[in-house]
Structure 1
Protein backbone atom coordinates (compact mmCIF):
# COMPACT_ATOMS: atom_id res chain seq x y z
CA UNK A 1 0.00 0.00 0.00
CA UNK A 2 1.09 3.56 -0.67
CA UNK A 3 0.51 6.78 1.27
CA UNK A 4 1.21 10.18 -0.21
CA UNK A 5 0.27 13.85 -0.30
CA UNK A 6 -1.01 14.83 -3.73
CA UNK A 7 1.05 17.23 -5.81
CA UNK A 8 -1.80 19.75 -5.56
CA UNK A 9 -1.55 19.71 -1.77
CA UNK A 10 2.22 20.08 -1.84
CA UNK A 11 1.94 22.99 -4.27
CA UNK A 12 -0.77 24.80 -2.29
CA UNK A 13 0.85 24.21 1.11
CA UNK A 14 4.64 24.20 0.60
CA UNK A 15 5.18 24.67 4.33
CA UNK A 16 3.78 21.19 5.05
CA UNK A 17 5.99 18.81 7.05
CA UNK A 18 4.82 15.22 7.42
CA UNK A 19 5.99 11.98 8.98
CA UNK A 20 4.53 8.47 8.83
CA UNK A 21 4.88 5.24 10.77
CA UNK A 22 3.55 1.79 9.94
CA UNK A 23 3.36 -0.80 12.71
CA UNK A 24 2.07 -4.33 13.02
CA UNK A 25 1.17 -6.27 16.14
CA UNK A 26 -0.26 -3.30 18.01
CA UNK A 27 -2.89 -4.81 20.30
CA UNK A 28 -5.16 -3.26 22.89
CA UNK A 29 -3.64 -4.91 25.97
CA UNK A 30 -0.55 -2.73 26.45
CA UNK A 31 -0.53 -0.35 29.40
CA UNK A 32 0.61 3.05 28.12
CA UNK A 33 -0.91 5.13 30.89
CA UNK A 34 2.33 6.09 32.61
CA UNK A 35 4.08 7.19 29.44
CA UNK A 36 0.99 8.97 28.14
CA UNK A 37 0.79 10.87 31.42
CA UNK A 38 4.42 11.93 31.08
CA UNK A 39 3.83 13.35 27.60
CA UNK A 40 0.59 15.02 28.69
CA UNK A 41 2.44 16.67 31.59
CA UNK A 42 4.63 18.50 29.07
CA UNK A 43 1.54 19.96 27.47
CA UNK A 44 0.04 20.93 30.83
CA UNK A 45 3.22 22.79 31.74
CA UNK A 46 3.11 24.67 28.46
CA UNK A 47 -0.57 25.53 28.88
CA UNK A 48 0.26 27.13 32.21
CA UNK A 49 2.27 29.72 30.29
CA UNK A 50 -0.09 30.31 27.36
CA UNK A 51 -3.36 29.05 25.90
CA UNK A 52 -3.29 26.68 22.94
CA UNK A 53 -4.54 29.48 20.67
CA UNK A 54 -1.21 31.25 21.18
CA UNK A 55 0.95 28.28 20.19
CA UNK A 56 2.74 28.82 16.84
CA UNK A 57 1.93 25.24 15.85
CA UNK A 58 -1.79 25.86 16.34
CA UNK A 59 -1.75 29.30 14.72
CA UNK A 60 -0.13 27.80 11.63
CA UNK A 61 -2.93 25.24 11.31
CA UNK A 62 -5.54 27.96 11.84
CA UNK A 63 -4.05 29.85 8.89
CA UNK A 64 -4.06 26.66 6.82
CA UNK A 65 -7.71 25.93 7.58
CA UNK A 66 -8.64 29.51 6.74
CA UNK A 67 -6.90 29.20 3.36
CA UNK A 68 -8.88 26.00 2.79
CA UNK A 69 -12.12 27.93 3.37
CA UNK A 70 -12.78 26.48 6.83
CA UNK A 71 -13.54 28.56 9.92
CA UNK A 72 -10.64 27.52 12.21
CA UNK A 73 -12.36 28.24 15.53
CA UNK A 74 -15.29 26.06 14.53
CA UNK A 75 -13.35 23.22 12.94
CA UNK A 76 -10.12 23.05 14.90
CA UNK A 77 -7.17 20.87 13.99
CA UNK A 78 -6.99 17.73 16.13
CA UNK A 79 -4.07 18.85 18.29
CA UNK A 80 -5.80 22.14 19.14
CA UNK A 81 -9.00 20.29 20.07
CA UNK A 82 -7.05 17.96 22.35
CA UNK A 83 -5.12 20.81 23.95
CA UNK A 84 -8.35 22.74 24.50
CA UNK A 85 -9.92 19.71 26.17
CA UNK A 86 -6.84 19.16 28.31
CA UNK A 87 -6.86 22.79 29.45
CA UNK A 88 -10.55 22.74 30.32
CA UNK A 89 -10.92 19.23 31.76
CA UNK A 90 -7.40 18.46 32.96
CA UNK A 91 -7.22 15.10 31.15
CA UNK A 92 -7.62 13.40 27.79
CA UNK A 93 -10.16 10.64 27.08
CA UNK A 94 -9.09 6.99 27.15
CA UNK A 95 -9.71 5.35 23.76
CA UNK A 96 -7.07 2.69 23.01
CA UNK A 97 -3.52 2.29 24.39
CA UNK A 98 -1.89 3.43 21.14
CA UNK A 99 -4.37 6.21 20.43
CA UNK A 100 -4.02 7.47 24.01
CA UNK A 101 -0.25 7.50 23.63
CA UNK A 102 -0.37 9.30 20.28
CA UNK A 103 -2.88 11.83 21.61
CA UNK A 104 -0.53 12.55 24.51
CA UNK A 105 2.41 12.99 22.13
CA UNK A 106 0.22 15.18 19.93
CA UNK A 107 -0.48 17.62 22.77
CA UNK A 108 3.14 17.50 23.94
CA UNK A 109 4.29 18.77 20.53
CA UNK A 110 1.02 20.56 19.57
CA UNK A 111 1.09 18.68 16.25
CA UNK A 112 -1.88 16.72 14.82
CA UNK A 113 -1.29 12.95 14.87
CA UNK A 114 -3.67 10.58 13.04
CA UNK A 115 -3.81 6.85 13.83
CA UNK A 116 -5.63 4.69 11.26
CA UNK A 117 -6.47 1.00 11.18
CA UNK A 118 -4.76 -0.19 7.99
CA UNK A 119 -7.09 -3.15 7.58
CA UNK A 120 -10.00 -0.70 7.25
CA UNK A 121 -8.34 1.14 4.35
CA UNK A 122 -8.76 -0.02 0.74
CA UNK A 123 -5.51 -0.01 -1.21
CA UNK A 124 -3.37 0.33 -3.13
CA UNK A 125 -3.36 4.09 -2.43
CA UNK A 126 -4.26 6.34 0.49
CA UNK A 127 -3.81 9.92 -0.69
CA UNK A 128 -4.15 13.28 1.03
CA UNK A 129 -5.83 15.36 -1.66
CA UNK A 130 -8.54 17.95 -2.32
CA UNK A 131 -11.97 16.32 -2.26
CA UNK A 132 -14.14 16.11 -5.35
CA UNK A 133 -17.27 15.94 -3.20
CA UNK A 134 -18.34 12.40 -4.05
CA UNK A 135 -16.17 10.68 -1.43
CA UNK A 136 -17.89 8.84 1.42
CA UNK A 137 -17.00 9.69 5.02
CA UNK A 138 -18.31 7.73 8.00
CA UNK A 139 -18.67 9.77 11.18
CA UNK A 140 -17.97 8.27 14.59
CA UNK A 141 -21.70 8.28 15.23
CA UNK A 142 -22.24 6.17 12.13
CA UNK A 143 -23.68 8.83 9.85
CA UNK A 144 -22.46 9.26 6.28
CA UNK A 145 -21.12 12.58 4.99
CA UNK A 146 -19.48 13.87 1.83
CA UNK A 147 -16.50 16.23 2.06
CA UNK A 148 -16.94 19.65 0.48
CA UNK A 149 -15.24 19.94 -2.93
CA UNK A 150 -11.74 21.33 -2.42
CA UNK A 151 -11.57 20.27 1.21
CA UNK A 152 -8.33 18.40 1.88
CA UNK A 153 -9.00 14.84 3.03
CA UNK A 154 -7.50 11.35 3.13
CA UNK A 155 -8.99 9.25 0.30
CA UNK A 156 -8.41 5.53 -0.34
CA UNK A 157 -8.82 3.50 -3.53
CA UNK A 158 -12.50 2.84 -2.75
CA UNK A 159 -13.15 6.61 -2.73
CA UNK A 160 -13.68 6.49 1.01
CA UNK A 161 -12.71 9.60 2.97
CA UNK A 162 -10.83 8.91 6.21
CA UNK A 163 -10.76 12.49 7.52
CA UNK A 164 -12.74 15.72 7.38
CA UNK A 165 -11.14 19.12 6.91
CA UNK A 166 -7.67 17.58 6.76
CA UNK A 167 -6.63 17.38 10.42
CA UNK A 168 -9.96 18.25 12.03
CA UNK A 169 -11.51 14.82 12.51
CA UNK A 170 -10.78 11.24 11.50
CA UNK A 171 -13.28 8.72 10.18
CA UNK A 172 -15.10 6.25 12.37
CA UNK A 173 -14.58 3.66 9.64
CA UNK A 174 -10.81 3.43 10.11
CA UNK A 175 -10.72 4.25 13.81
CA UNK A 176 -8.44 2.04 15.89
CA UNK A 177 -10.27 -0.46 18.10
CA UNK A 178 -9.94 -3.65 20.13
CA UNK A 179 -9.24 -5.82 17.07
CA UNK A 180 -6.76 -3.51 15.37
CA UNK A 181 -3.43 -5.11 14.46
CA UNK A 182 -1.88 -2.86 11.79
CA UNK A 183 -1.78 0.92 11.96
CA UNK A 184 -0.63 3.90 9.98
CA UNK A 185 0.34 6.91 12.07
CA UNK A 186 0.65 10.31 10.38
CA UNK A 187 1.94 13.57 11.88
CA UNK A 188 1.56 16.83 9.96
CA UNK A 189 2.83 20.31 10.82
CA UNK A 190 2.61 23.71 9.15
CA UNK A 191 4.63 25.97 11.46
CA UNK A 192 8.17 27.22 10.99
CA UNK A 193 10.42 24.50 12.32
CA UNK A 194 7.73 21.92 11.60
CA UNK A 195 10.17 19.50 10.00
CA UNK A 196 12.11 19.24 13.26
CA UNK A 197 8.91 18.84 15.28
CA UNK A 198 7.61 16.09 13.02
CA UNK A 199 10.92 14.24 13.15
CA UNK A 200 10.82 14.37 16.96
CA UNK A 201 7.20 13.24 17.05
CA UNK A 202 7.89 10.24 14.83
CA UNK A 203 11.03 9.27 16.76
CA UNK A 204 9.07 9.44 20.02
CA UNK A 205 6.19 7.36 18.67
CA UNK A 206 8.57 4.79 17.21
CA UNK A 207 10.38 4.44 20.55
CA UNK A 208 7.12 4.13 22.48
CA UNK A 209 5.70 1.52 20.10
CA UNK A 210 8.90 -0.52 20.39
CA UNK A 211 8.88 -0.26 24.18
CA UNK A 212 5.22 -1.21 24.68
CA UNK A 213 4.56 -3.67 21.87
CA UNK A 214 7.94 -4.72 20.49
CA UNK A 215 6.15 -4.20 17.19
CA UNK A 216 7.66 -4.19 13.72
CA UNK A 217 7.73 -0.62 12.42
CA UNK A 218 8.74 1.39 9.39
CA UNK A 219 8.94 5.18 9.38
CA UNK A 220 9.62 8.01 6.96
CA UNK A 221 9.65 11.79 6.78
CA UNK A 222 7.85 12.87 3.61
CA UNK A 223 8.95 15.82 1.49
CA UNK A 224 8.15 17.32 -1.90
CA UNK A 225 11.05 15.29 -3.31
CA UNK A 226 10.02 12.04 -1.55
CA UNK A 227 6.25 12.40 -1.08
CA UNK A 228 5.34 8.71 -0.94
CA UNK A 229 5.54 6.00 1.73
CA UNK A 230 5.17 2.33 0.77
CA UNK A 231 4.06 0.03 3.57
CA UNK A 232 2.37 -3.27 4.35
CA UNK A 233 2.60 -6.42 2.34
Structure 2
Protein backbone atom coordinates (compact mmCIF):
# COMPACT_ATOMS: atom_id res chain seq x y z
CA UNK A 1 0.00 0.00 0.00
CA UNK A 2 1.18 3.50 -0.84
CA UNK A 3 -0.21 6.62 0.79
CA UNK A 4 -0.04 10.36 0.31
CA UNK A 5 0.65 11.87 3.72
CA UNK A 6 0.58 15.55 4.64
CA UNK A 7 2.82 16.07 7.65
CA UNK A 8 2.33 18.22 10.75
CA UNK A 9 5.10 20.55 9.54
CA UNK A 10 2.97 21.42 6.51
CA UNK A 11 -0.21 22.10 8.49
CA UNK A 12 1.74 24.22 10.95
CA UNK A 13 2.43 26.62 8.08
CA UNK A 14 -0.83 26.31 6.14
CA UNK A 15 -3.65 25.22 8.48
CA UNK A 16 -6.38 26.36 6.06
CA UNK A 17 -4.93 24.85 2.87
CA UNK A 18 -6.99 22.54 0.69
CA UNK A 19 -5.37 19.95 -1.57
CA UNK A 20 -7.34 18.13 -4.24
CA UNK A 21 -6.23 14.60 -5.12
CA UNK A 22 -7.09 12.47 -8.14
CA UNK A 23 -5.64 8.96 -8.53
CA UNK A 24 -6.00 7.59 -12.07
CA UNK A 25 -5.16 4.04 -13.15
CA UNK A 26 -5.07 2.39 -16.54
CA UNK A 27 -4.29 5.48 -18.60
CA UNK A 28 -3.72 4.86 -22.29
CA UNK A 29 -0.23 5.39 -23.68
CA UNK A 30 -0.07 8.53 -25.78
CA UNK A 31 0.25 6.57 -29.03
CA UNK A 32 -3.06 4.77 -28.33
CA UNK A 33 -5.11 7.94 -27.97
CA UNK A 34 -7.30 8.37 -31.08
CA UNK A 35 -6.19 11.31 -33.26
CA UNK A 36 -9.55 13.03 -32.80
CA UNK A 37 -9.18 12.85 -28.99
CA UNK A 38 -5.59 14.11 -29.18
CA UNK A 39 -6.85 17.06 -31.21
CA UNK A 40 -9.59 17.73 -28.67
CA UNK A 41 -7.03 17.76 -25.85
CA UNK A 42 -4.98 20.33 -27.74
CA UNK A 43 -8.09 22.45 -28.23
CA UNK A 44 -8.84 22.19 -24.50
CA UNK A 45 -5.41 23.62 -23.81
CA UNK A 46 -5.92 26.39 -26.37
CA UNK A 47 -9.22 27.39 -24.75
CA UNK A 48 -7.64 27.25 -21.29
CA UNK A 49 -4.92 29.69 -22.37
CA UNK A 50 -7.70 32.10 -23.33
CA UNK A 51 -9.67 31.45 -20.12
CA UNK A 52 -6.57 32.23 -18.06
CA UNK A 53 -6.71 35.82 -19.27
CA UNK A 54 -9.72 36.37 -16.99
CA UNK A 55 -7.43 35.85 -13.98
CA UNK A 56 -4.99 38.50 -15.21
CA UNK A 57 -6.24 41.91 -14.14
CA UNK A 58 -2.81 43.58 -14.18
CA UNK A 59 0.08 43.67 -16.65
CA UNK A 60 2.40 43.26 -13.66
CA UNK A 61 2.43 39.53 -12.89
CA UNK A 62 2.93 39.98 -9.13
CA UNK A 63 -0.21 42.15 -8.83
CA UNK A 64 -2.60 39.43 -9.99
CA UNK A 65 -4.56 37.74 -7.18
CA UNK A 66 -3.53 34.09 -7.81
CA UNK A 67 0.12 35.10 -7.99
CA UNK A 68 -0.07 37.31 -4.90
CA UNK A 69 -1.47 34.43 -2.85
CA UNK A 70 1.32 32.06 -3.82
CA UNK A 71 4.14 34.58 -3.44
CA UNK A 72 2.92 35.14 0.11
CA UNK A 73 2.81 31.37 0.70
CA UNK A 74 6.38 30.96 -0.56
CA UNK A 75 7.60 33.37 2.10
CA UNK A 76 6.65 30.83 4.77
CA UNK A 77 9.39 28.30 3.92
CA UNK A 78 12.89 28.07 2.49
CA UNK A 79 13.01 28.19 -1.30
CA UNK A 80 15.65 28.01 -3.95
CA UNK A 81 16.45 31.50 -5.26
CA UNK A 82 14.01 32.47 -7.98
CA UNK A 83 11.59 29.60 -7.35
CA UNK A 84 7.98 30.44 -8.13
CA UNK A 85 4.73 28.52 -7.94
CA UNK A 86 3.86 26.62 -11.12
CA UNK A 87 0.69 28.65 -11.73
CA UNK A 88 2.72 31.86 -11.78
CA UNK A 89 4.93 30.40 -14.49
CA UNK A 90 1.90 29.42 -16.59
CA UNK A 91 0.10 32.73 -16.14
CA UNK A 92 3.28 34.63 -16.94
CA UNK A 93 3.43 32.92 -20.32
CA UNK A 94 -0.16 33.88 -21.06
CA UNK A 95 0.50 37.47 -19.97
CA UNK A 96 3.47 37.68 -22.35
CA UNK A 97 1.46 36.32 -25.28
CA UNK A 98 3.34 33.01 -25.25
CA UNK A 99 0.56 30.45 -24.65
CA UNK A 100 1.32 27.18 -22.86
CA UNK A 101 1.92 24.57 -25.56
CA UNK A 102 1.35 20.84 -25.83
CA UNK A 103 3.72 18.45 -24.02
CA UNK A 104 2.01 15.08 -23.61
CA UNK A 105 -1.74 14.32 -23.27
CA UNK A 106 -1.77 13.82 -19.49
CA UNK A 107 0.27 16.97 -18.87
CA UNK A 108 -1.79 18.96 -21.37
CA UNK A 109 -4.96 18.02 -19.50
CA UNK A 110 -3.69 19.08 -16.11
CA UNK A 111 -2.18 22.29 -17.52
CA UNK A 112 -5.58 23.08 -19.06
CA UNK A 113 -7.26 22.69 -15.67
CA UNK A 114 -4.54 24.74 -13.99
CA UNK A 115 -4.96 27.63 -16.44
CA UNK A 116 -8.75 27.54 -16.31
CA UNK A 117 -8.94 27.73 -12.51
CA UNK A 118 -5.67 29.60 -11.85
CA UNK A 119 -4.63 26.92 -9.36
CA UNK A 120 -1.38 24.94 -9.43
CA UNK A 121 -1.91 21.43 -10.77
CA UNK A 122 0.72 18.71 -10.93
CA UNK A 123 1.05 15.07 -11.81
CA UNK A 124 3.42 12.23 -11.00
CA UNK A 125 3.77 8.60 -12.06
CA UNK A 126 2.66 6.54 -9.05
CA UNK A 127 4.55 3.47 -10.26
CA UNK A 128 7.84 5.33 -9.73
CA UNK A 129 7.22 6.17 -6.06
CA UNK A 130 9.40 4.48 -3.45
CA UNK A 131 7.15 4.03 -0.42
CA UNK A 132 4.72 6.74 0.66
CA UNK A 133 4.60 10.23 -0.82
CA UNK A 134 4.87 12.91 1.86
CA UNK A 135 4.44 16.67 1.88
CA UNK A 136 6.36 18.42 4.62
CA UNK A 137 9.39 20.44 5.65
CA UNK A 138 12.63 18.65 4.84
CA UNK A 139 15.94 18.69 6.70
CA UNK A 140 17.64 19.11 3.32
CA UNK A 141 19.87 16.91 1.19
CA UNK A 142 17.06 14.94 -0.46
CA UNK A 143 18.23 13.65 -3.85
CA UNK A 144 16.68 15.43 -6.82
CA UNK A 145 17.36 15.52 -10.55
CA UNK A 146 15.33 18.38 -12.03
CA UNK A 147 13.14 17.75 -15.03
CA UNK A 148 15.03 18.92 -18.11
CA UNK A 149 18.45 18.09 -16.65
CA UNK A 150 20.53 15.07 -17.63
CA UNK A 151 22.93 14.80 -14.73
CA UNK A 152 22.92 17.88 -12.50
CA UNK A 153 21.69 16.85 -9.06
CA UNK A 154 20.00 19.61 -7.07
CA UNK A 155 19.22 18.38 -3.51
CA UNK A 156 16.68 20.06 -1.25
CA UNK A 157 17.53 22.81 1.22
CA UNK A 158 17.02 22.62 5.01
CA UNK A 159 13.62 24.10 5.81
CA UNK A 160 12.27 23.58 2.31
CA UNK A 161 8.69 22.40 1.80
CA UNK A 162 8.52 19.63 -0.76
CA UNK A 163 7.00 16.35 -1.83
CA UNK A 164 9.33 13.45 -1.01
CA UNK A 165 9.27 9.67 -1.05
CA UNK A 166 11.80 7.20 0.33
CA UNK A 167 14.17 7.80 -2.61
CA UNK A 168 14.29 11.59 -2.38
CA UNK A 169 12.44 14.68 -3.55
CA UNK A 170 9.57 14.39 -6.01
CA UNK A 171 8.64 18.06 -6.44
CA UNK A 172 10.71 20.86 -4.93
CA UNK A 173 9.59 24.07 -3.19
CA UNK A 174 6.08 22.63 -2.84
CA UNK A 175 4.98 23.07 -6.45
CA UNK A 176 7.87 24.71 -8.24
CA UNK A 177 9.68 21.98 -10.16
CA UNK A 178 9.25 18.25 -10.78
CA UNK A 179 12.01 15.69 -10.91
CA UNK A 180 12.94 13.34 -13.75
CA UNK A 181 12.46 10.21 -11.66
CA UNK A 182 8.71 10.53 -11.04
CA UNK A 183 7.54 12.63 -14.00
CA UNK A 184 4.59 11.55 -16.10
CA UNK A 185 5.57 10.26 -19.53
CA UNK A 186 3.80 9.13 -22.70
CA UNK A 187 3.70 5.59 -21.31
CA UNK A 188 2.65 6.28 -17.70
CA UNK A 189 -0.43 4.26 -16.75
CA UNK A 190 -0.99 5.36 -13.12
CA UNK A 191 -1.07 9.02 -12.18
CA UNK A 192 -1.13 10.93 -8.91
CA UNK A 193 -2.73 14.28 -9.77
CA UNK A 194 -2.81 17.13 -7.31
CA UNK A 195 -4.32 20.61 -7.08
CA UNK A 196 -3.20 22.97 -4.33
CA UNK A 197 -5.14 25.87 -2.84
CA UNK A 198 -3.88 28.24 -0.12
CA UNK A 199 -6.90 30.55 -0.18
CA UNK A 200 -9.70 29.10 2.01
CA UNK A 201 -12.30 31.12 0.12
CA UNK A 202 -11.38 29.21 -3.06
CA UNK A 203 -12.01 25.72 -1.65
CA UNK A 204 -15.04 25.36 -3.93
CA UNK A 205 -12.85 26.21 -6.93
CA UNK A 206 -10.45 23.46 -5.88
CA UNK A 207 -13.30 20.98 -5.63
CA UNK A 208 -14.62 21.97 -9.06
CA UNK A 209 -11.13 21.67 -10.50
CA UNK A 210 -10.59 18.11 -9.26
CA UNK A 211 -14.01 17.13 -10.61
CA UNK A 212 -13.03 18.55 -14.00
CA UNK A 213 -9.60 16.93 -13.91
CA UNK A 214 -11.02 13.51 -13.08
CA UNK A 215 -13.63 13.81 -15.82
CA UNK A 216 -11.09 14.75 -18.49
CA UNK A 217 -8.60 12.04 -17.54
CA UNK A 218 -11.36 9.44 -17.59
CA UNK A 219 -12.80 10.69 -20.88
CA UNK A 220 -9.64 11.21 -22.92
CA UNK A 221 -7.08 8.89 -21.33
CA UNK A 222 -9.43 5.99 -20.62
CA UNK A 223 -8.42 5.96 -16.97
CA UNK A 224 -10.25 4.53 -14.00
CA UNK A 225 -10.50 7.07 -11.18
CA UNK A 226 -9.50 5.20 -8.02
CA UNK A 227 -9.61 8.18 -5.67
CA UNK A 228 -10.86 11.76 -5.76
CA UNK A 229 -10.97 13.79 -2.59
CA UNK A 230 -9.92 16.90 -0.75
CA UNK A 231 -7.10 16.72 1.78
CA UNK A 232 -7.54 19.13 4.68
CA UNK A 233 -6.21 19.49 8.21
CA UNK A 234 -9.01 17.12 9.27
CA UNK A 235 -8.28 14.58 6.50
CA UNK A 236 -4.52 14.39 6.16
CA UNK A 237 -3.79 11.26 4.13
CA UNK A 238 -5.08 9.28 1.17
CA UNK A 239 -4.34 5.75 -0.03
CA UNK A 240 -3.01 6.10 -3.57
CA UNK A 241 -2.05 2.52 -4.44
CA UNK A 242 -2.89 -0.88 -2.98
Deviation at residue 175 of structure 1 after TM alignment? 1.1
- For 1:113, the equivalent position in structure 2 comes to 121
Deviation at residue 110 of structure 1 after TM alignment? 1.3
Q: How many residues align?
A: 229
Q: Among residues 117, 129, 134, which one is paired with 2:136 in the alignment?
A: 129
CA RMSD in angstroms, aligned pairs only: 1.7
Matches for 1:60-209 after TM superposition, within 5 Å: 60-70=69-79, 74-123=82-131, 125-140=132-147, 141-142=149-150, 143-158=152-167, 160-209=168-217
User: Higher mean Cα deviation, 30-39 or 199-208?
Assistant: 30-39
Using the alignment, how far apart are the partners of 1:152 and 1:221 within structure 2?
20
Change (3 A) 1:46 1:61: closer
CA deviation vs aligned residue, 1:104-159 (integer Å, no higher than 9, x gap) = 21122111111101111112x1000111112101112132111101100111023x
- For 1:28, the equivalent position in structure 2 comes to 30
User: Do the aligned residues in 2 keep the contact of 1:151 with 1:165 (CA within 8 Å)?
Assistant: yes
User: Higher mean Cα deviation, 80-89 or 28-37?
Assistant: 28-37
Gaps of 5+ in 1: none
Q: TM-score, normalised by structure 2?
A: 0.88
Change (3 A) 1:148 1:71: closer
User: Do the aligned residues in 2 keep the contact of 1:22 with 1:183 (CA within 8 Å)?
Assistant: yes
Deviation at residue 191 of structure 1 after TM alignment? 1.8
Matches for 1:206-221 after TM superposition, within 5 Å: 206-217=214-225, 218-221=227-230
Using the alignment, how far apart are the partners of 2:201 and 2:10 within structure 1?
19
CA deviation vs aligned residue, 1:168-219 (integer Å, no higher than 9, x gap) = 1111211111221111001111124231121111011011112112310121
User: Do the aligned residues in 2 keep the contact of 1:57 with 1:189 (CA within 8 Å)?
Assistant: no
Deviation at residue 71 of structure 1 after TM alignment? 7.6
Look up the SS of the partner of 2:48 in the other structure: helix
User: Do the aligned residues in 2 keep the contact of 1:40 with 1:105 (CA within 8 Å)?
Assistant: no
Using the alignment, how far apart are the partners of 2:188 and 2:219 within structure 1?
18
Deviation at residue 59 of structure 1 after TM alignment? 1.1
Runs of 4+ in structure 1 deviating by more than 6 angstroms, as ranges, are none
Using the alignment, how far apart are the partners of 1:220 and 1:56 within structure 2?
25
Gaps of 5+ in 2: none
Deviation at residue 23 of structure 1 after TM alignment? 0.5
Change (3 A) 1:192 1:226: closer
